[in-house]
Amino acid sequence: MSRIQAVLAAVVMVASFSGCQFIPGMGGGAPLPTEVPNTMYTGDLADAKEGRYMTYATEVGGSKTSTTVKVVGKDGANTWVEWWTEAGGTATGYLFVVGADKKISKAWAAHKDDKEWKEIKVTEPPKAQPAGDAPKPEIKESDEKKEVKAGAFQSHKIDSTMTISGNKYNSQIWYSKDAWKLHSGTEHGGLVAMEASGMKTWLDAKGEDGKPSIELPKK
């Protein structure tokens, strides 16, 4: 399955379950995680200039969350990335040290009001299982300008329909080469927006003056 098909399948599968989020890291006031897989960072380091940040907002099932990805440091071939998810006034964050291979070598976690990061374990992800006869989406592609809160982007739109257990699910995703791939992206550029079965996600803000939310651990 191509990268685009894999993304579409994930979006549709998540949207088919009430209350779930496509964007990872949701936790609110839950206990801090104790470990993360070394593949959890989904962005592209080619766009990881120190200070850059992107915030995405997601609405689904009457609730709203926001996810902010921020580049907070460079150390040789390694990049320090913060990944925060906020819901209901509370937020949980990760701090990753990501290598040139996009794998996480060190990780920390914290809540919004914490004064320091707590180091957590980095693990190998489970081995992928054969896809078998997974449903394949019907895809239509086009180019158009997509306006979101962060601005207007000339975008590549991917409109897909997938049938799961006899039910059809439709999704639209917009990517733009003018949007960084700090969170996610394809050969068409970074994510601008997506909509699927009552779920909406859009680029809410972006900038190049981001600072560490919490003092970084000593390198």
Query: What is the C-alpha to C-alpha distance for residues 207 and 15, in angstroms, rounded to an integer?
Result: 29
Within 13 Å and on the Cβ side, how many CA atoms surround 155? 24
Strands 35-37 and 118-123, by their bridges, are parallel
**pLDDT for 133:** 66
For the chain, where are the E strands, in sequence order?
35-37, 53-60, 63-75, 78-87, 90-98, 104-111, 118-123, 138-148, 151-164, 167-176, 185-186, 189-196, 199-207
Q: What is the pTM of this model?
A: 0.84
Amino acid at residue number 198: G
Contacts of residue 101, Cβ cutoff 8 Å, sequence gap at least 6: none
According to the model, what pLDDT value does residue 131 have?
61
Please give the chain's pLDDT, 219 residues, in tens.
Answer: 454 544 444 444 344 333 333 444 444 457 899 999 999 999 999 999 999 999 999 999 889 999 999 999 999 999 999 999 999 889 999 999 999 999 999 999 999 999 999 999 999 998 877 666 667 788 999 999 999 999 999 999 999 988 877 788 889 999 999 999 999 989 999 999 999 988 999 999 999 999 999 999 987
d(CA 66, CA 32): 18
Token pair for 217: 């651990």
Compute the distance between CA of residue 171 and CA of residue 36 in angstroms, rounded to an integer. 28
For 3-103, where are the E strands, in sequence order?
Answer: 35-37, 53-60, 63-75, 78-87, 90-98
User: So what's the pLDDT on residue 66?
Assistant: 96
